[in-house]
Amino acid sequence: MMKPMLPSLTFDLTIQPDWLYEVKYDGFRAILEWDKNGITLTSRNDKPLLNQFPEIKDYLENHKDKFEPYLPLKLDGELVSLENPYKANFAAIQVRGRTKSAKKIQETSDKSPCRLMVFDVLLLKGKAMNSIPFLKRKNELVKLFESIGFTLEADPYHPDLLQLVQVHDDFYDLWEKVVLHDGEGIIAKHKNSLWEEGKRSLQWLKYKNWKYVSCFITSYDKTNGYFFVGVYKDGKIHGIGQVLFGFKPDEKQALQKTIKQNSRSEDAQFIYVEPAICIEVKYLELYDNQLREPHFDRFRFDLKPEDCTYEQFLLQQKNLPKDLDITHPDKPLWKNQNIQKADYILYLREVSPYMLPFLKDRLLTVIRYPHGMFGEAFYQKNCPDYAPEFVQRHRDEGIDYIVCNNLKTLIWLGNQLAIEFHIPFQTIHSKGPSEIVFDLDPPSKDEFHLAVKAALLIKTILDQLNLTGFIKTSGNKGLQIYLPLPEDVYTFDDTRLFTSFIAEYLVSQEPESFTIERLKKNRGNRLYVDYVQHSEGKTIVAPYSMRGNEHAGVATPLFWDEVNEKLNPISFNLENALNRIRKHGDPFKDYFRTKLIQPFGPVLEVLKAQKG
């Protein structure tokens, strides 16, 4: 059995040339071997894994003809339950690993298959690769995936159960993505490092994405040196785990002495103290209601024990920006919905990887609800004077707009109870539109079927023109269709030709259903196709923004097969939007990739020729 090479943990990763970076996935380290004797998948503790994870073997055997030219083969990777491109679900893989029933194993592998994230090749066509420098091994691994035809990107919704762990040369760019997606961390590898069996090497370093919790000490275990910690939940002490590592020797001695001097009781194993000593602990995640890999970080002499609450713990658990305080987390926001401010902040945190790309480099207009739905709302364009320095600003036509380019700004805005996020159709760098958007807004929610009818007619045209459109709810009573465009190629005059063409087509096909009449009194119950709205300076609600309506609506991206007579815009709210992403992924996943390949030019040429 080959023992895997292991990385060394570092708390202070120095960024240096000649180092490369990979996403660290949290699962079971596994080495895949495939030779004349068959396929094996073995853990770092020499345990066979294929019986527990039969989907991997089935998948490989179904692609045997593709692999045969490269056998014997040996790959190094991490067996994971992939949650998003930068994060694996540790709890899910642990449950799979403990499952005993063969029937249950098969049911789970069919419904929620795990994936082997491959980051190294050790044997290729029978040739040993471990003495070749890391970067050359990685290049050979990429060539293998390319030749077999497997995906080169981590994707929890892609059918490939063997996926490539890409290598990156920009630590900070990768780290931002890992933090945004709540991943475990990064592995740094020297580009010339060799694969050394069984060695914990300083040529491979692991740098983890720690979470932080403010808590207090409840007891000290005399038998092993652990300090037990807790927080207040519903006025009672709630234990969250114990911590041993991270203390300097003098810190540990002082803490032990303080606990002994202030003990309230003692038995053969524990010294118990009243909540008084507040500390900050860093950890990876909560698993089985205990902190996983906890390390002492610092004393919190600025806190009182009553400041260490379970509600704050839940917020901190989602890896919110460490130095950003959330005020009044228990504040109710909706009259008929059980949504508190903490729920809204956690929604923004979880949806941030999918929402932030649409806010990036856009002049932001928000609608703030300082009293939730219980008071008046107001539009805010100007960045307030009290905004922190990390909030990016951009001046345009005398207004200092906020530009929300990072998680910290998004959460700060959420803490300000900015509920609605509205953005223009171009970035601060664009010379023209970054997309075309059709806003299909029926006269009332009772006529929502008109928005569905219009959307499907537009989809038919887009398909005929080989154009790719994306659709979302408005969060209120309508639908919005997006056509991503390459940057700085087209003007708003160009896109007006297309939007007016589509509007006129809809009216010609269904004059009883659609109108381009601008006066409301002349529209009747027809849907107004507002092609004029798509112009410079106008705005549209951002994907995944909430709305200040009674059902706590969300401007929710849809899959096209959902757009039918059964579609109900009221059902897309805070809870539903997150569950959709967890279960099905993001319907706008390929949006920015489509910008680069959208064949809008030939369509525009025909429209210009017709106009001329």
Q: Which residues carry out catalysis?
A: 24
CB 144 within 8 A of CB 120: no
Give the Cβ contact number of residue 446 at 10 Å: 10
Give CA–CA dist 127/125, Å, rounded: 6
Helix (H) or strand (E) segment spanning residue 282: strand 278-283
Give CA–CA dist 65/524, Å, rounded: 63
State residue 232 phi and psi, 5-degree precision. Answer: -90, 130
Phi-psi region of 342 (alpha: psi -120 to 50; beta: other; left: phi over 0): alpha
What is the CB-side half-sphere exposure of residue 497 using CA atoms within 13 A? 16
Give CA–CA dist 264/273, Å, rounded: 5
- Closest alpha carbon to 305 in 405, 245, 235: 235
End-to-end CA distance of the chain: 74
Write out the DSSP string of 420-435: EEEEESS-TT-SS-SE
Q: Could you give the dihedral angle defined by the CA atoms of residues 388, 389, 393 and 399, in that order, rounded to the nearest 10 degrees?
A: 60
Give CA–CA dist 392/178, Å, rounded: 22
Residue 28 DSSP SS3: strand
Burial class for 542, CB neighbours closer than 10 Å (0-12, 13-18, 19+): buried
Q: Give the rounded distance of the alpha carbon of 303 from its chain centre.
A: 31
Radius of gyration from C-alpha coordinates of the chain:
28
Bridge partner list, 290: 287
DSSP state of 497: H
Measured CA distances, 362 to 73, 392, 407, 540, 600 (Å): 48, 11, 15, 11, 23
State residue 97 phi and psi, 5-degree precision. Answer: -65, -25
The token pair at 61 is: 């055997």
Q: Give the rounded distance of the alpha carbon of 405 from its chain centre.
A: 15
Give just the sign of the alpha carbon dihedral 553, 555, 557, 561.
positive
For the chain, give the number of residues: 612
Measured CA distances, 333 to 106, 313, 548 (Å): 44, 21, 10
Instruction: State the helix-helix crossing angle for 407-415 and 341-359, rounded to 10 degrees.
Output: 140
Pairing outcome for strands 82-84 and 73-80: unpaired
Residue 1 DSSP SS3: coil
Give CA–CA dist 410/392, Å, rounded: 11
- Closest alpha carbon to 198 in 56, 29, 440: 29
Give CA–CA dist 259/276, Å, rounded: 10
DSSP state of 343: H
- Whether a cis peptide bond, with omega within 30° of 0, leads into 17 is no
